């Protein structure tokens, strides 16, 4: 609880205090304390079922927590989550399975939320969409449907779609896990580009190379708890907990 | 005096088809409108609404359409409302159709993958926008073939309105039969007319199903 005692700093974007969540009897998140500052890049790793996806899904309340506080950009999402709309507008999310809207073109996918949520003009939404499609290097696919694109291209569109809302934070939920190996790099490169531009990022990923080169902080979760958080250097060379060591042993040995 | 079944009788039956069609169209449009809300109620997060929609569907699926028509027609009389067979038939069929379409469409809405709801929510879309721009357009694709198929049931269901005295195709058949006493011929012609209305819809439904079965992703 050391973090919770600190004064609220102005550049804290996400603060989680004592967050707990259960699926019936099973506790998926146990007393999570986490603070994310503006511009910070955090990689969350851990074995499957450790609660890492649930943790980031609580930040935009795709999953509800039952206890504790989550404050995003000064807006509190209590268990009653009344300020949900405000928070979702500021938090972008990229999913493992892309979740592009198959009945809309790439361009329409990118324009939908700015038009209907932010209420910008069609011309502005289109200009923004094209800017970000260029940034993820697929402006030429704008008029195609998601089904016509490769997995890597779809995931880059999904990143562009989130960026069109001009979010304060980006959440990545295993963005490369559903991709064929040859497409992982193009998505990671896009994410690295975002990092270089100073985007605040929380990534659940098993890409340890990405964690080493991009993350400011690596968080290891196991059985619903944050077991260890550290700089990538120390995390990979000198892990403190036994559980971290055995996890790293398993994923880095092959 | 007994008449023979001739050209005039045939024309009389044919003209009654328009009332069968009119009743079908009203039942379908009314049923679709109410049915959309039933389907939305069935799939929403608010428990009381979900129970209400579920109960509504159970009641109309669990009782015969004829009883529903009786209850509307005679119920109106009990309540002191002078309801014509026309209105009673339209109302009864609308309620019945809405329950069945509501249940069909519930399945279509739920067939849209959860990830679509999550992605739309994560982008900040609230329920109305999420439904209108993301979920329903995808659900409609799935819904078209079974909905067209169900239209056949609606058309055939209108024949029960004959019993509360609404003159549509079946009632016209009864009237002609009372004058000609040729039940096999008369009702054979009536059945053939229903078949001509329904068969193309069945074919269309099958064709649409084949078309939409092609994967989009």
The answer to whether position B37 is within a domain reads yes
How far apart are the C-alpha atoms of A149 and A132, rounded to whole Å? 17
**Cβ–Cβ of B124/A89 closer than 8 Å?**
yes
Question: Taking chain B, what is the end-to-end CA distance rounded to the nearest angstrom?
Answer: 67
Partners of residue B134 in chain A, C-beta under 8 Å: 101, 112
pLDDT category at A84 given cuts 50, 70, 90 is confident
Mean pLDDT of B12-34: 96
Domain span at B179: 7-216
Under 8 Å CB-to-CB from B64, ≥6 apart: which residues?
none
Residue B186 has pLDDT above 70, yes or no: yes
Which of B115, B121, B217 faces A88 most closely, judged by CB atoms?
Answer: B121
Helix (H) or strand (E) holding B148: helix B136-157
**Cβ–Cβ of A102/B121 closer than 8 Å?**
no
CA A174 vs CA A46, A162, B83: distances in Å: 12, 15, 62
Which of B116, B133, B138 faces A99 most closely, judged by CB atoms?
Answer: B116
The answer to whether position B97 is within a domain reads yes
Q: Which carries the bigger pLDDT value, residue A172 or residue B209? A: A172
Which of A145, A146, A165 faces B123 most closely, judged by CB atoms?
Answer: A165
Cα three-residue angle A11-A12-A14, rounded to 5 degrees: 145
Q: How many domains does chain B have?
A: 1
Q: Which pLDDT score, from 0 to 100, does residue A77 have?
A: 86
Angle, helix A181-196 to helix A151-163, in steps of 10 degrees: 20
pLDDT category at A1 given cuts 50, 70, 90 is very low
How far apart are the C-alpha atoms of A91 and A166, rounded to whole Å? 9
A interface with B, Cβ–Cβ < 8 A, is: 60, 62, 85, 88-89, 91-93, 95, 97, 99-103, 112-113, 116-117, 145-147, 158, 161-162, 165
Q: Which carries the bigger pLDDT value, residue B148 or residue B213? A: B148
Shortest Cα distance, chain B CAs vs residue A156, angstroms = 15
pLDDT in tens, B87-129: 999 999 999 999 999 999 999 999 999 999 999 999 999 999 9
The answer to whether position B2 is within a domain reads no
Q: Which two tokens stand for residue A194?
A: 């975002």
The answer to whether position B79 is within a domain reads yes
Do A226 and A33 contact (CB within 8 A), yes or no?
yes
**Does the complex come out with an ipTM higher than 0.95?**
no
The answer to whether position B190 is within a domain reads yes
The answer to whether position B209 is within a domain reads yes
Q: Which pLDDT score, from 0 to 100, does residue A194 have?
A: 95
How far apart are the C-alpha atoms of B162 and B179, rounded to whole Å? 17
Residue A4 has pLDDT above 60, yes or no: no
Select from B84, B94, B88, B86 the least CA-distant residue to B71: B88
Shortest Cα distance, chain A CAs vs residue B89, angstroms = 39
Do B34 and B95 contact (CB within 8 A), yes or no?
yes
Question: Taking chain A, what is the end-to-end CA distance rounded to the nearest angstrom?
Answer: 36
Q: Which pLDDT score, from 0 to 100, does residue B213 have?
A: 67
Do A113 and A129 contact (CB within 8 A), yes or no?
no
The per-residue pLDDT of chain B, averaged, comes to: 93
Partners of residue A158 in chain B, C-beta under 8 Å: 119
Q: Which pLDDT score, from 0 to 100, does residue B145 have?
A: 93
Select from A228, A205, A202, A231 the least CA-distant residue to A217: A231
The owner of tokens 């999570």 is A32
Partners of residue B121 in chain A, C-beta under 8 Å: 60, 62, 88
pLDDT category at B1 given cuts 50, 70, 90 is low
The answer to whether position B1 is within a domain reads no
Mean pLDDT of B28-48: 96
- What is the percentage of chain B residues whose pLDDT exceeds 70? 97
Long-range contacts of A137-140 (CB under 8 A, 24+ apart): A137/A190, A138/A106
Partners of residue B127 in chain A, C-beta under 8 Å: none
Residue A67 has pLDDT above 50, yes or no: yes
Shortest Cα distance, chain B CAs vs residue A58, angstroms = 11
Partners of residue A147 in chain B, C-beta under 8 Å: 216-217
Q: How many CA atoms lie within 13 A of A229 on its CB side?
A: 16
pLDDT category at A10 given cuts 50, 70, 90 is low
Under 8 Å CB-to-CB from A176, ≥6 apart: which residues?
A155, A183, A184, A187, A188, A205, A207
Residue A170 has pLDDT above 80, yes or no: yes
User: Which residue in chain A has the smallest CA separation from B132?
Assistant: A116
Which of A88, A101, A147 faces B122 most closely, judged by CB atoms?
Answer: A88
Give the CATH number for residue B156.
1.10.3720.10
Mean pLDDT of A89-102: 96
Q: Which pLDDT score, from 0 to 100, does residue A9 have?
A: 57
The answer to whether position B87 is within a domain reads yes
CA B74 vs CA A69, B61, B79: distances in Å: 58, 20, 9
Q: What is the DSSP letter of B160?
A: G
Partners of residue B137 in chain A, C-beta under 8 Å: 103
**Cβ–Cβ of B122/A102 closer than 8 Å?**
no
pLDDT in tens, A179-188: 999 999 999 9
Mean pLDDT of A183-198: 95
- What is the percentage of chain A residues whose pLDDT exceeds 70? 93
Residue B29 has pLDDT above 50, yes or no: yes
Q: What is the DSSP letter of A230?
A: E
Mean pLDDT of B32-61: 96
Partners of residue A100 in chain B, C-beta under 8 Å: 119
The DSSP bridge pattern shows strands A12-23 and A26-37 to be antiparallel
Partners of residue A89 in chain B, C-beta under 8 Å: 124
Residue B133 has pLDDT above 70, yes or no: yes
Residue A90 has pLDDT above 60, yes or no: yes
User: Which residue in chain A has the smallest CA separation from B141?
Assistant: A103
Mean pLDDT of B168-173: 95
What are the φ and ψ backbone dihedral angles of A114, each rounded to 5 degrees? -55, -40
pLDDT in tens, A13-58: 999 999 999 999 999 999 999 999 999 999 999 999 999 999 999 9
* CB count in 10 Å sphere of residue B74: 13
Do B154 and B89 contact (CB within 8 A), yes or no?
no
Cα three-residue angle A155-A159-A165, rounded to 5 degrees: 150
The owner of tokens 């739309």 is B120
Helix (H) or strand (E) holding A43: strand A41-45
Mean pLDDT of A84-95: 93
């Amino acid at each position: 609880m050391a973090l919770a005692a600190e004064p609220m700093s102005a550049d804290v974007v996400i603060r989680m205090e004592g967050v707990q969540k259960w699926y019936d009897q099973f506790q998926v998140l146990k007393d999570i304390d986490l603070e994310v500052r503006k511009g910070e890049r955090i990689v969350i790793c851990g074995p499957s079922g450790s609660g890492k996806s649930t943790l980031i899904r609580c930040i935009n309340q795709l999953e509800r927590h039952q206890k504790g506080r989550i404050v995003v950009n000064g807006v509190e999402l209590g268990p009653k989550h009344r300020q949900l709309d405000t928070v979702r507008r500021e938090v972008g999310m990229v999913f493992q399975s892309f979740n592009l809207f198959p009945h809309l073109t790439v361009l329409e996918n990118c324009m939908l939320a700015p038009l209907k949520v932010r209420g910008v003009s069609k011309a502005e939404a289109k200009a923004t969409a094209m800017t970000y499609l260029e940034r993820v290097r697929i402006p030429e696919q704008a008029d195609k449907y998601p089904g016509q694109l490769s997995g890597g291209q779809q995931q880059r569109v999904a990143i562009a779609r989130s960026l069109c809302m001009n979010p304060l934070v980006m959440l990545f939920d295993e963005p490369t896990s559903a991709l064929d190996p040859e497409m992982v790099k193009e998505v990671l490169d896009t994410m690295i580009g975002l990092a270089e531009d100073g985007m605040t990022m929380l990534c659940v990923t098993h890409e340890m190379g990405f964690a080493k080169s991009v993350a400011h902080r690596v968080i290891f979760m196991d059985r619903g708890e944050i077991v260890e958080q550290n700089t990538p250097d120390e995390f990979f060379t000198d892990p403190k907990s036994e559980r971290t060591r055995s996890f790293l042993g398993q994923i880095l040995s092959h | 005096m007994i008449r023979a079944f001739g050209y005039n009788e045939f024309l009389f039956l044919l003209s009654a088809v328009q009332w069968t069609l009119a009743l079908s169209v009203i039942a379908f449009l009314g049923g679709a409108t109410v049915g959309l809300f039933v389907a939305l109620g069935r799939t929403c997060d608010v428990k009381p609404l979900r129970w209400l929609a579920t109960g509504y569907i159970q009641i109309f699926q669990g009782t015969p359409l004829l009883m529903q028509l009786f209850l509307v027609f005679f119920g109106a009389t009990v309540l002191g409302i002078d309801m014509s067979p026309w209105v009673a038939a339209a109302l009864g069929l609308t309620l019945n159709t809405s329950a069945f379409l509501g249940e069909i469409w519930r399945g279509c809405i739920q067939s849209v993958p959860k990830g679509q709801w999550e992605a739309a929510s994560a982008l900040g879309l609230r329920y109305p926008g999420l439904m209108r721009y993301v979920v329903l357009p995808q659900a409609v694709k799935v819904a078209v073939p079974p909905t067209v198929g169900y239209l056949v049931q609606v058309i055939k269901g209108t024949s029960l309105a004959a019993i509360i005295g609404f003159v549509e195709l079946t009632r016209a058949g009864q009237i002609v039969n009372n004058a000609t006493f040729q039940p096999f011929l008369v009702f054979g012609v009536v059945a053939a007319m229903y078949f001509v209305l329904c068969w193309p819809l069945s074919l269309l439904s099958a064709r649409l199903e084949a078309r939409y079965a092609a994967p989009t992703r």
